[in-house]
């Protein structure tokens, strides 16, 4: 999408995977090593998980752009993306490639999309796919996400109770993302629907601090932002 009219740098949206640096693709590692400018999001004033994953591949002395985001849904103002897009654009306009790091896959619920839509019509862009948290959590749970003709629903926990319930009643399997402070509410709904017994909870998949448990064994009332609940009905005959 989008071809630059004048000579300019290329924007790379790089999926760095869910946490374990060994799950980065060879292509991601090469582009990060070569790009003169590396940009990445960070939650609030904290460290950037995307940068942390890719750290071993970023040569010292590279220009780095930190994009400070509010991870609460809808809380990052458009202005933040406008400012970040303008800073990235200034490098691209001077013929410097920019590697924009994205946790997981750039186009799977990634904030990358907000920058992509601001830059892709003016500059050449390449998206490098990454291992999603969905695949990482399934691997950690040791169970298929879905098989045969089953329908898998991907549901943000930020949906209303009614929306979640409606989707969970019809899907054969579901991945509930963005669990965080919605953990208790989601667990109660799954219990009410008779789905808690087969649900699996995964936090920080593929990282050293990964937690992976049947949902019924989770005693906490809260969960970290980087967590997911996988639900699967009993396999149909």
Ligand X SMILES: C[S@@+](CC[C@H](N)C(=O)[O-])C[C@H]1O[C@@H](n2cnc3c(N)ncnc32)[C@H](O)[C@@H]1O
Q: Which residues bind ligand X (CB under 6 A)?
A: 18-19, 103-105, 108-110, 132-133, 136-137, 177-179, 202-206, 225-228
Give whichever of 49 and 91 is closer to ligand X, judged by the CB atom.
Answer: 49
Closest approach, Cβ 95 to ligand X, in A, equals 29
Nearest to 228 by CA among 176, 187, 186, 188: 176
Letter string b/e over residues 191-207, b meaning 16 or more CB atoms within 10 A of that residue's CB: eeeebbebbbbbbbbbb
Please work out, in degrees rounded to the nearest 5, the angle formed at the alpha carbon of residue 10 by the alpha carbons of 2 and 114. 60
Distance CA 237, CA 235 (A): 6
**Least distance (Å) between residue 191 CB and ligand X:** 20
* Of residues 105 and 172, the one with the C-beta less far from ligand X: 105
Closest distance to ligand X from the beta carbon of 213 (Å): 13
Closer CB to ligand X, 38 or 179, in the complex: 179
Q: Which is nearer to ligand X, 9 or 104 (CB)?
A: 104
CB of 221 to ligand X, least distance (A): 17
Taking the C-alpha atoms of 177, 185, 189 and 109 in order, what is their torsion angle to the nearest 10 degrees? Answer: -10
């Amino acid at each position: 999408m989008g071809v630059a009219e004048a000579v300019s740098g290329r924007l790379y949206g790089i999926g760095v995977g869910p946490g374990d640096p060994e799950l980065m693709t060879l292509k991601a590692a090469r582009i990060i090593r070569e790009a003169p400018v590396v940009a990445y999001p960070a939650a609030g004033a904290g460290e950037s998980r995307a940068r942390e994953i890719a750290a071993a591949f970023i040569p010292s002395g590279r220009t780095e752009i930190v994009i400070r985001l509010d991870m609460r849904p809808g809380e990052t103002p458009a202005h933040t993306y406008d400012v970040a897009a303008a800073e990235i654009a200034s490098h691209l306009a001077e013929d410097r490639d920019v590697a924009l790091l994205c946790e997981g896959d750039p186009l799977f619920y990634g904030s990358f999309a907000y920058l992509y839509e601001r830059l892709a019509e003016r500059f050449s862009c390449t998206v490098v796919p990454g291992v999603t948290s969905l695949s990482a959590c399934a691997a950690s749970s040791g169970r298929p996400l879905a098989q045969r003709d089953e329908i898998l629903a991907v549901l943000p926990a930020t949906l209303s109770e009614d929306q979640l319930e409606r989707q969970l009643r019809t899907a054969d399997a579901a991945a509930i993302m963005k669990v965080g402070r919605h953990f208790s509410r989601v667990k109660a709904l799954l219990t009410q629907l008779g789905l808690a017994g087969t649900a699996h909870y995964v936090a920080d998949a593929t990282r050293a601090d990964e937690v992976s448990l049947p949902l019924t064994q989770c005693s906490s009332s809260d969960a970290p932002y980087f967590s997911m609940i996988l639900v699967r009905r009993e396999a149909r005959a």
